[in-house]
Amino acid sequence: MIRTLQTALKQDRESTPIPKSVQEAIPISRIWPDGMFQFGSKYSKTIRFTDINYAIASKEDKTAMFLGYSELLNALDTGSATKITIVNRKVSRQQFGEGVLLPDKGDGLDYLRNEYNHILTDKVVGGDGLVVQDRYITLSAHRRSTEEARTFFDRVNQEVLSRLNQLDSRGTELDAVERLEILHNFYRTGETEPFTFDLKTSMKKGCSFKDTICPSSLEFKKDHFVMGDKFGRVLFLREYASYIKDSMIQELTSLNRTMALSMDIIPVPTDEAVREMQNRLLGVETNVTNWQRKQNQNNNFSAVVPYDMEQQRKETREMLDDLTTRDQRMLFGLVTLVHLADTKEELDSDTEALHSLARKHLCQLSALNWQQHEGLTTVLPLGLRKIDALRTLTTEATAVLTPFKAQEVHHQNGIYYGQNVISKNLILANRRELLNGNGFVLGVSGSGKSFTAKRELASLALSTEDDIIVLDPEAEYRPIVEGLGGEVVHISATSSNHINAMDMEQGYGDGENPVVLKSEFLLSLCEQLVGAGKLSAKEKSIIDRCTAKVYHDYIKGGYTGNVPTLQDFHAELLLQEEVEARDVALAIELFTQGSLNTFAQPTNVDVQSRILCYDIRDLGKQLLPVGMLVVMDAIFNRILRNRALGRNTWVYIDEIYLMFQHEFSANFLFTLWKRVRKYGACCTGLTQNVGDLLQSHTARAMLANSEFLVMLNQASTDRAELSKLLNISDNQLSYITNVDAGRGLIKCGSAIVPFVDSFPKGALYQLMTSKLSEIVGE
């Protein structure tokens, strides 16, 4: 027998006393705050890792992920055992509600919050709770002292974390409280009270940490156990098929029950493995030779080697080739599974369903008879193995049992964006947890683009105190804004509402010269008025000079008094000696002294509402680009004011492609896009003309650097561009190809998740819909 296996079996046979209490059934003897557990002479630590998009990846990407996971398995230390665990954890409606559902505020909008809460609770998978999947790698080793164990884990854990990072999976070492919480959630499944544990307080009181995690009772039967008011059963994979699909583990853990599946892996040093396989091959060849000699003695010189002998020789040779030429390692593996149910009948039914899933893959699951306690100890992410049912595997054969399925987006205090198409779980994202909260919503007309933005807007308005500002060139946000108690500012050439294009808040330059930033804004504005590319170098210099002059007194007076207007700027241009100054003044006269002087007068509208919409649909073709730029500058001033007040700001810019049709306005928006993160703001751009957007280098840079994207149904040319820009696989592109409204992909940080949002009709829906027939019908 291989020495590594002999050593592992000998060490794992450490005698454990028969438990006389529920606490004694939990085999942990000591814990440390950093998460290291001790069981006799064995120590363990656990790493939580995130899922990756394996199920929806392309064939090439799946191959790359498979090879990456194989490299992780090859990198496992031969002086330790590894347990990979997938835990299905049920979150009750009450626990779900604490993090997601909106509390009443008594502001007249509670009827909308109640409807929103009802929608979310109806979408929770299974009806009686949300199933959340967690993944863990538990490393365990026998060491003579705590210091040796800690040194070992410091080295090995970093290697595992590095390999996980290469797979685009994020690993986190768990401390003692987090590891105990895993056990608490399993042993006390169904409890609604959150887990709390303080090691120092427990030590002062003389309490055992086991008291906080153990169930009320634990009774082991022949083929199942009773834990509190739950019934459970531990199964193990008895027979392996010669060919196993990589989806088997995904299917086994798709049961909507509290369960845990573990894969124990004991790596073997390559030299030992090669020597063992050479000895096996020698034994097989000896048996074949003896059989042939015996046939020859019986004058049977044409006898063919029996099939079983030939197959054994072939498999042994293949195994030896794998070890010596194909970078494979020999691993000993064990797959165990535990599932819980409310009744014995339900438990038997679930067990039969798991048996059927295993038989579908030509494998066989069996219950552990009179070993349920040992099985339960083995399957939980403790680092122990009390079941002797190891199977010899290669790296590839082990990697097929992949623990990866599909990425989830489930942030703390996140808001609802839809349901994950693969797992059916809710997508709850908090854009503030990303590197930057800026985002885009992309989709053809009718794909649900504005509905997506309004749904997020409504969630933010009902759940936070943040300010929300909308730049609305199509006049479609009035119902949702007014329905949520906000204000709509209608701006047109004939409207009595005016916004001063030259408004400037204190702190406009963020510590730099504010005139420089305002000069860039006026250059953008003049370019919009004169025409793209028609400003000469001389004219740009004159504009910059006049900007400084008109703001001189206002800034020197501490940003008090009358704010300069475009009419003052026009007058300053006329005072200059250069002919070019008068040319610029003449070019912008229509917008300063003429009939389109909407933005050349002091601001006379109240823009203090928490939810504010600038309706600029009626500005006309000539004033619309100018209006979008002026309103963007007004929004920037509002963001600065909110930062001083400690308030967050959300900005929505519909038809954002209009901003990229002129160089200066595109640069102004790009500068704003980069700066607002540190001001506590998040910008969202909406457009259906993705192709037009991607023609601008500035827009491409903004799109590539935005951490949040919602991609709805896309035109074929747009899909190709997005695929190149965001490295989206063909399989993922299928979720934005000829799909219904409300379906697509969400890119949230590094995660790209297919989603569907079937929003039921009600008061909220009526505020958000853009369909004319539904608006008229109301």
- Kind plus residue range of the DSSP H or E element containing 155: helix 146-166
Q: What is the rounded radius of gyration, in angstroms, for the C-alpha atoms of the chain?
A: 33
pLDDT for res 353:
96
Give residue 681's Cα distance to chain centre.
21
Give 272-303 as a DSSP string: HHHHHHHHHHHHHHHHHHHHHHHHHHTT-TTP
Residue with tokens 């040093």: 269
Tens of pLDDT, residue by residue over 721-753, are 888 888 887 888 889 988 888 899 999 988 889
What mean pLDDT do residues 321-347 have?
A: 92
Per-residue pLDDT at 774 exceeds 80: no
> Which pair of structure tokens corresponds to residue 734?
């299928």
What is d(CA 215, CA 63) in angstroms, rounded to the nearest whole number? 43
Which of 229-238, 370-379, 632-641 bottoms out in mean pLDDT, i.e. has the lowest?
Answer: 632-641
Residue with tokens 């192709």: 691
Q: Under a CB-based contact definition with an 8 Å cutoff, are residues 5 and 332 in contact?
A: yes
What is d(CA 222, CA 568) in angstroms, rounded to the nearest whole number? 91
Closest by CA to 484, choosing from 677, 766, 265, is 766
- Under DSSP, the state recorded for 315 is H
Tens of pLDDT, residue by residue over 599-654, are 888 888 877 889 999 998 888 777 777 888 888 888 888 888 888 888 999 999 99
Cβ–Cβ contacts within 10 Å for residue 671, how many?
Answer: 16
Burial label for 727, CB within 10 Å (0-12, 13-18, 19+), is exposed
Q: Under a CB-based contact definition with an 8 Å cutoff, are residues 135 and 85 in contact?
A: yes
- Under DSSP, the state recorded for 169 is -
Give 685-719 as a DSSP string: EEES-HHHHHTSHHHHHHHHT-SEEEE-S--HHHH
Q: Under a CB-based contact definition with an 8 Å cutoff, are residues 322 and 386 in contact?
A: no
What is d(CA 22, CA 449) in angstroms, rounded to the nearest whole number? 55
Q: How would you classify the pairing of strands 751-756 and 743-748?
A: antiparallel
Residue with tokens 């920037």: 636
End-to-end CA distance of the chain: 79
> Which pair of structure tokens corresponds to residue 663?
């160089």
> Which pair of structure tokens corresponds to residue 686?
């909406």
**Where along the chain do its domains lie?**
3-9+33-90+130-191+203-268+329-399, 93-128, 270-328, 436-497+609-778, 500-602
Burial label for 602, CB within 10 Å (0-12, 13-18, 19+), is middle
Strands (E), 148-203: 171-173
pLDDT for res 137:
97
* pLDDT grade for 657, boundaries at 50, 70 and 90: confident
Q: Under a CB-based contact definition with an 8 Å cutoff, are residues 465 and 591 in contact?
A: no
- Under DSSP, the state recorded for 753 is E
Per-residue pLDDT at 676 exceeds 90: no
What is d(CA 36, CA 146) in angstroms, rounded to the nearest whole number? 9
Give 402-441 as a DSSP string: --------B-TT-EEEEEETTT--EEEE-GGGSS---EEE
pLDDT for res 127:
46
Per-residue pLDDT at 572 exceeds 60: yes
Q: How would you classify the pairing of strands 439-442 and 681-687?
A: parallel
- Under DSSP, the state recorded for 576 is S
Amino acid at 6: Q
C-alpha angle 644/645/651, rounded to 5°? Answer: 85
What mean pLDDT do residues 308-313 have?
A: 90
What is d(CA 98, CA 413) in angstroms, rounded to the nearest whole number? 9
Helix 537-556 crosses helix 579-587 at what angle (to 10 degrees)?
80
Percent of the chain with pLDDT over 90: 42
SS3 656: helix
> Which pair of structure tokens corresponds to residue 536?
């000469």
Q: How far is CA 589 from CA 530, 546, 585, 595, 597, in A?
A: 10, 15, 6, 9, 9
Torsion of CA 767, 769, 770, 774, to 10 degrees: -100
Cβ–Cβ contacts within 10 Å for residue 126, how many?
Answer: 11
- Kind plus residue range of the DSSP H or E element containing 746: strand 743-748
Higher per-residue pLDDT: 771 or 520: 520
Sorted by sequence, the CB contacts under 8 Å of residue 261 that are 6+ apart come out as 85, 86, 249, 252, 253, 335, 336, 337, 379
Sorted by sequence, the CB contacts under 8 Å of residue 43 that are 6+ apart come out as 36, 37, 140, 141, 142, 143, 146, 149, 153, 383
Q: How would you classify the pairing of strands 439-442 and 225-227?
A: unpaired
In degrees and rounded to multiples of 5, residue 514 shows phi and psi of -65, -25
Q: Outline where 242-269 has alpha helix (H).
A: 248-252
What is d(CA 382, CA 366) in angstroms, rounded to the nearest whole number? 22
Cβ–Cβ contacts within 10 Å for residue 390, how many?
Answer: 17
What is d(CA 12, CA 269) in angstroms, rounded to the nearest whole number? 19
In degrees and rounded to multiples of 5, residue 523 shows phi and psi of -60, -45
Out of 3.40.462, 3.40.1000, 3.30.70, 2.60.120, select the CATH number for domain 3-9+33-90+130-191+203-268+329-399.
3.40.462
Tens of pLDDT, residue by residue over 42-71, are 999 999 999 998 888 888 888 999 999 999
Cβ–Cβ contacts within 10 Å for residue 633, how many?
Answer: 26
Tens of pLDDT, residue by residue over 96-132, are 667 688 888 888 899 999 999 888 888 775 445 567 8
Amino acid at 598: T
Percent of the chain with pLDDT over 70: 96
pLDDT for res 527:
80
pLDDT for res 778:
42
Sorted by sequence, the CB contacts under 8 Å of residue 336 that are 6+ apart come out as 234, 235, 236, 237, 261, 262, 264, 375, 378, 379, 387
Q: What is the mean pLDDT of the chain?
A: 87
pLDDT for res 182:
95
Domain 436-497+609-778 architecture: 3-Layer(aba) Sandwich (3.40)
pLDDT for res 512:
62
